[in-house]
Structure 1
Amino acid sequence: MAPLLQLSPLSTDINLLLVVLSSLTSMISASMGVGGGTLLIMTMAQVMPASALIPVHGMVQLGSNGGRLAMTLRHVEWKALASFVPGAIIGALVASWLLIRLPAGVLELAIAGFVLFTIWGPGLPQRALGHFGTLVAGAVTTLLSSMVGASGPMVASFIKQRGGGRQSTVATFAACMTLQHLSKAFVFGVAGFVFRDWLGLMVLMVLSGVVGTWLGLRLLSRLSEQRFDLAFRWILTVLALRLVWLGVTRLTS
């Protein structure tokens, strides 16, 4: 157990827990399309210092989503990704110098509202799903990702609105999130975060996540389109409702 003790400033037990959890949450994201990253950051928030939470989570998710992207590359909707990339770059640049933050709770409520609208509302107009709308989504969600850590439900709900089967949804979502988490290396590198102190833990969590992704993709292939769509909607809804509760709690505390 000695090597685990040296992975990060955290204890051996916590390091082991996070490595196992990385595999589990990657399996959830690969099979259901979303949810694993949010579950992971919720758990990490209980045991890690706030200053390390978002950058470490971002690098672990970069590995997890990058692995899933490599395994599903042929299913990526490249037109959507090409529109998403410029917006993600803009969002990352803004996040790197943004000093003024919205009151605690507002961001969570904004994300939850968007997710619930896109899942249960009348649907976004076709114009919003086009090139410019996707660019704006890339910018906004990348900015939010750098500030609150997990924008996955928001990105996933937008990708789902564009249509496509379960394989395309999972692959395109993985591609967008890979780019988004890659931007965090730049954002927090500029901010002066020392990734080296957490490198061992991040590498092991990434490797564990790759195993979880492989298992999750095997499960995805066994799901029908109807079951996938139903599970996808309800997972997003539960995550959004949790954000509502969190946002209201922070606004009233």
Structure 2
Amino acid sequence: MLELLSPLSGGLNLGLVALSALTSALSAAAGIGGGTLLIIVMAQVMPATALIPVHGMVQLGSNGGRAVMTRRHIRMPVIAAFLPGVVVGALVAAWLLVRLPPGVLELCIAAFVLYSCWGPGLPQRAVGRTGTVIAGAVTTLLSSLVGASGPLVASFIKQGIAERLPRVATFATCMTLQHLTKAFVFGFAGFVFRDWLWLILAMVAAGVVGTWAGLRLLHRVTDHRFDVLFKWTLTLLALRLIWLGGERLLGT
């Protein structure tokens, strides 16, 4: 039965479904991290051509579920400014043929994340309406190229929203919008989602369960502890991206 979920083996399908629940719980509790961890593991077992579109659809379900569950805390002015940038970034990604050398994008994302965590705060205009539109466009483009722009979006959200629940809710909504565009981008590129549909649905369902569990933990964490956990999670992910980016840039 498990073999019918995708072209992968039954054991791998089961492992990915379980990992979807775990990483969704991580994202709900820590605010970030699950999507990046998921794509790193998926990259070890999936064909490169399927990796980003399948991951994007799974994350669409996971972030969409989290956005619905925390909808009362979404900062709509941020979303209203972020959405136009998402549209622009998706349109550029749909026709972009020239890419930066492998590894450069990962290193750029890691540098921005580390700066946002440990450097001086961004100027207020950077988190204003214009800055939010630009962030939406750039991160959506990166999301289609490298798969996981979550750390970059989370870094931006962190600058403008201090409270943990609005931060998680707004981040989830921004990521939902980004991953929604991947259906258009990769459908335009000719990817056949049908071959992976059952695995995507199973991972989305598991992700909803993981999100529910993670949100229960989130309510038990103080703002200070959440901020520390959030910052260190971003930092560890950035260090991982530096490692991956360096390997790809050097061709090792």
Aligned pairs (5 A) from 1:109-128: 109-128=107-126
Percent of residue pairs identical: 69
Question: RMSD between aligned alpha carbons?
Answer: 0.5
- 5+ unaligned residues in a row in structure 2: which ranges? none
CA–CA distance in structure 1, aligned partners of residues 250 and 204 of structure 2: 37
Residue 83 of structure 2 is aligned to residue 85 of structure 1: yes
Selected match of 1:157 from 149, 155, 158? 155
Where does residue 167 of structure 2 map in the other structure? 169
Give the total of aligned pairs. Answer: 251
Which residue type is aligned with residue 53 of structure 1? L
**DSSP 3-state at the match of 1:199:** helix
Runs of 4+ with >6 A deviation:
none
Aligned pairs (5 A) from 1:35-74: 35-74=33-72
Aligned pairs (5 A) from 1:198-217: 198-217=196-215
CA–CA distance in structure 1, aligned partners of residues 134 and 233 of structure 2: 24
CA–CA distance in structure 2, aligned partners of residues 252 and 208 of structure 1: 37
1:248 CA drift (Å): 1.4
TM-score in terms of structure 2 length: 0.99
Where does residue 26 of structure 2 map in the other structure? 28
Deviation string 1:77-119 (CA, Å, 9 cap, x unpaired) is 1000100000000000000000000000110111001111111
CA–CA distance in structure 2, aligned partners of residues 73 and 251 of structure 1: 40
Selected match of 1:131 from 126, 129, 132? 129
Deviation string 1:119-173 (CA, Å, 9 cap, x unpaired) is 1110110000000000000000000000000000000010010023100000000
Deviation string 1:165-187 (CA, Å, 9 cap, x unpaired) is 10000000000000000000000
Where does residue 108 of structure 1 map in the other structure? 106
Selected match of 1:183 from 181, 184, 189? 181
CA–CA distance in structure 1, aligned partners of residues 23 and 185 of structure 2: 24
TM-score in terms of structure 1 length: 0.98
